[in-house]
Amino acid sequence: MKYFTTAASFAMSMVFFTPAQADEMVNYSTALDYADVTFGLESAITDRGFVVDHISHVGEMLERTRADVGSDVVLFQQADVYSFCSAKLSRQVMEADPMNITFCPYDIFVAQRPGVDTVTIGFRSFPKGDMQIIQTLLDEIVKEAIEE
């Protein structure tokens, strides 16, 4: 019975899952080199007193495992996700609603597709309300990272 309940709960949760759409993402393209964009991003984050907690090397992982999963598609020339948090702002949004924990840490991606001269930088959109302060912050960081 325990396994049936768990399976039923999982099946019910799948009904409400919707994949991210393009309008659920904020992104910008730039002609800057990938290294310049990542340097600008790291600077924009640390200049505000935040610490980059983790850099996920998504592009490297996908390329390293490409053959293992039976694919011959190269998705990215380079792709990384930068994770960080703000103690002050995180506390502010979580005091408004403790379940805003689901959005922390905050992630900004940088990606370049093969054969494309532009680099894309962006982040997932946040819901209306309290989390808009974080959306504004990430938008400012991203724009600063690609200032020419």
Average pLDDT score over the chain: 88
Q: What is the pLDDT of residue 50?
A: 96
pLDDT of residue 148: 66
Is the pLDDT reported for residue 118 higher than 60? yes
Q: What is the model's pLDDT at position 19? A: 35
pLDDT of residue 147: 92
Cis before 105? omega within 30: yes
94-108 pLDDT, tens digit each: 999 999 999 999 999
- pLDDT confidence of residue 23: 65
Predicted pLDDT of residue 2: 47
* pTM, to two decimals: 0.83
- The predicted structure's pLDDT at residue 11: 37
Q: Is the pLDDT of residue 92 over 70?
A: yes
Give the model's pLDDT for residue 21: 47
pLDDT digits (tens, 9 = 90+) for 34-88: 999 999 999 999 999 999 999 999 999 999 999 999 999 999 999 999 999 999 9
Residue 4 pLDDT? 40
Which superfamily does CATH assign the domain made up of 22-145 to?
A: TT1751-like domain (3.30.310.70)
For residues 94 and 102, what is the distance between their CA atoms, to the nearest angstrom? Answer: 10
